[in-house]
Amino acid sequence: MQFTLKVWRQKSQSSKGAIETYHLSDISEDMSFLEMFDVLNDKLIRDKKDPIAFDHDCREGICGMCSMFINGEAHGPGRNVTTCQLHMRSFKDGDTIYVEPWRSSAFPIVKDLTVDRSAFDRIIQSGGYVSVNTSGATQDANAIPIPKEDADSAFDAATCIGCGACVATCKNSSAMLFVSAKVSQLSLLPQGQTEANNRVQRMVNQMDAEGFGNCTNTGACEVECPKGISLTNIARMNRDFLKSSMG
């Protein structure tokens, strides 16, 4: 297969970026999107040019590190996949593909397609945990039965990989899907309910402080989320937030 790639290049956070064009041939349809980038970088390096910086690590769709905005969609055209799990068979021979970084003022660009998502870490630090020490001297794991439906819903919310596709996709750069997934996971479980009010207040405050926008119920985040995190979580968080605000 052959492709024309239009890739965002930006040397550093402060420098001005631009789209550059690259042509690739002999691409196998079984290659992953990132393996196609490996081929391109190999070529650039052999030509003594600067390779394209992009984040990636596990390459099996779970670490949440890869983050490319492909043809106007976070993680590209596939549904429920990360960039690393996107394969070239999803494109047509001869396609022109645009690749950009996540764009949000809360995710400053480090270089090329690499951005800084530490705002997400700071949101979790503001309250995305159960306040229990790690001594192991808790009660037996089976002491509190949890209805399977609640446990399953908590799990579904907990599968968020923190990649930031929701923010990149949202016209408001809102982080509501990310934040609500963690709020929901913990408020659905008895272990997390004790501090649920405090948690939602603190996490929403931190989200605002980081400069993420608000939610206007467009639902694009849910469509582009590689883990299929549901909008229901946002509704649940709004409810929890309102409840906690009323004291």
Partner 1 sequence: MLNSRIPTGPIEQKWEKHKGEIKLVNPANKRLIDIIIVGSGLAGSSAAASLAEMGYNVKVFCFQDSPRRAHSIAAQGGINAAKNYQNDGDSIYRLFYDTVKGGDYRSREANVYRLAEVSGSIIDQCVAQGVPFAREYGGLLDNRSFGGVQVSRTFYAKGQTGQQLLLGAYSALSRQISKGKIELLNRHEMMDVVVIDGKARGIIARNLVTGEIQRHGAHAVVLCTGGYGNVFYLSTNAMGSNSSAAWKAHKRGAYFGNPNFVQIHPTCIPVSGHYQSKLTLMSESLRNDGRIWVPKNLDDAQAIRNGELGPNDLEENQRDYYLERRYPAFGNLVPRDVASRAAKERCDEGYGVNKTGQAVFLDFASAIERYGKTEASTRNLKSPTKSQIIELGKAVVKSKYGNLFDMYQQITADNPYETPMKIYPAIHYSMGGIWVDYNLMTTIPGLYAAGEANFSDHGANRLGASALMQGLADGYFVLPYTIGDYLADEIRTGQISTDTIEFEQAENQVKATLDKLINTNGDIPVDDFHRRLGLIMWEYCGMSRNEKGLKKAIILIKKLRDEFYSNLYVPGDVNDFNPELEKAYRVADFLELGELMCIDALNRKESCGGHFREESQTDEGEALRDDDNYTYVSAWEYRGDPSDPKLHKELLKYDNIEVKQRSYK
Does 183 bind partner 1 (CB under 8 A)? Our answer is: no
For residues 95-114, which are near partner 1 according to CB under 8 A? Answer: 110-111, 114
CB of 77 to partner 1, least distance (A): 13
Min separation Cβ 126 and partner 1, Å: 7
**Are 152 and 185 a contacting pair, CB within 8 Å?**
no
Q: Could you tell me which stretch among 94-102, 130-138, 170-178, 233-241 binds partner 1 (CB under 8 A)?
A: 130-138
**CA 14, 16, 19 angle in degrees (round to 5)?**
135
Stretch 16-75 residues interacting with partner 1 (CB under 8 A)? 28, 30-32, 34-35, 38-39, 42, 44-46, 48-51, 53, 55-65
Give 192: exposed, middle or buried? Use CB within 10 Å, 0-12, 13-18, 19+. Answer: buried
Give me the least distance between CB of 158 and partner 1, in Å please: 5
Question: Could you tell me how many residues of this chain bind partner 1 (CB under 8 A)?
Answer: 79
Query: Judged by CB under 8 A, which stretch of 97-105, 152-160, 170-178, 236-244 contacts partner 1?
Result: 152-160
| Residues contacting 105, CB < 8 A, separation 6+ | 173, 211
Q: Please name the residues in contact with 215: beta carbons below 8 A apart, sequence gap of 6 or more.
A: 170, 172, 174, 176, 234
Q: Is 131 in the site for partner 1 (CB under 8 A)?
A: yes
Name the one residue in this structure whose structure tokens are 């001005």: 16
**The sheet that has 96-100: what strands, in order across it?**
18-24, 3-9, 96-100, 69-70, 73-74
Among residues 72, 93, 132, 216, the one that binds partner 1 under rule CB under 8 A? 132
Nearer to partner 1, 31 or 218 (CB): 31
Given the complex with partner 1, which of 124 and 218 has the nearer CB atom? Answer: 124
d(CA 33, CA 187): 37
Q: Which is nearer to partner 1, 124 or 223 (CB)?
A: 124
In whole angstroms, give the CA distance from residue 82 to residue 165: 9
Q: Does 92 bind partner 1 (CB under 8 A)?
A: no
- For the segment 156-175, give every residue that binds partner 1 (CB under 8 A): 158-159, 161-162
Give kind and range of the element (H or E) at residue 19: strand 18-24
Rounded Cα gap, residues 210 and 208, in angstroms: 5
Interface with partner 1 (CB under 8 A), residue from 145, 171, 217, 246: 145
